[in-house]
Amino acid sequence: MSYIFGDRIVLREYRDSDLDYIRQWVNDPEITDTLSDNFLYPHSKYETESFFRTMVEGKSGNKSFIIAAKDSQEYIGQIDLFKIDWKNRFALLANVIGRKEFLDRGYGSEAIRILQKFAFEELNLNRIELEVYEYNERAYKCYLKCGFKEEGRYRKKIYKKGKYWDSIFMSILRSEFK
């Protein structure tokens, strides 16, 4: 597959040079505190390398991309469509900006919009959905900005930072995509 270009970024395949960047954020609480409980415990080098090999070899069944700087192709983060349901035409979205110097600069929302266009126009999906935690205000605002709508909440489902938080479910339909 060819690269998918945006204004400042490109969605591209995983490369061996990306592993060092992934290892830098995978155990960094400033990045992982807003992610799923997959990151509740430290990840060993072996676990990270095993995940990475699955992605490089294309064995995950997901549509997964590195978010990279358009000019240098240097790693910024990752974005995935996973649990793709081809019959019902939907997938789940997951993403991470793995380098702190790229946070709050619009790279996440640009990557999401590029992936939405790909999902709706190339993969012929009808729906993209995701789950975000109430305390992750940065991501919640980003998803709203990208056209996702809140569908519901599991009240006080997530225990983090000494208290319980809602788990918020959001989606966007092809007909809502601009």
Q: With a cut of 90, say whether residue 58 has pLDDT above it.
A: no
Task: Report yes or no: 31 and 98 within 8 Å, Cβ to Cβ.
Answer: yes
Residue 168's φ and ψ, nearest 5 degrees, are -105, 130
Please give the model's pTM, rounded to 2 decimal places: 0.94
Number of folded domains that form the chain: 1
Which domain range does residue 165 map to?
A: 4-176
Strand order in the sheet with 149-160: 4-5, 9-12, 63-69, 75-85, 90-97, 127-133, 163-173, 149-160
| Average pLDDT, integer, range 15-35 | 92
Q: Return the pLDDT at 59.
A: 80
Domain with residue 84: its CATH number is 3.40.630.30
Q: Return the pLDDT at 161.
A: 85
Closest CA to 10 of 88, 103, 73, 79: 73
**Cα distances (angstroms) measured from residue 28 to each of 23, 51, 79, 116, 121:** 9, 17, 18, 28, 35
How many degrees, rounded to 5, is the angle at CA 105 between CA 100 and CA 108? 80
Closest CA to 91 of 64, 109, 110: 64
Tens digit of each residue's pLDDT (9 = 90 or more) over 97-149: 999 999 999 999 999 999 999 999 999 999 999 999 999 999 999 999 999 99
| Average pLDDT, integer, range 62-85 | 96
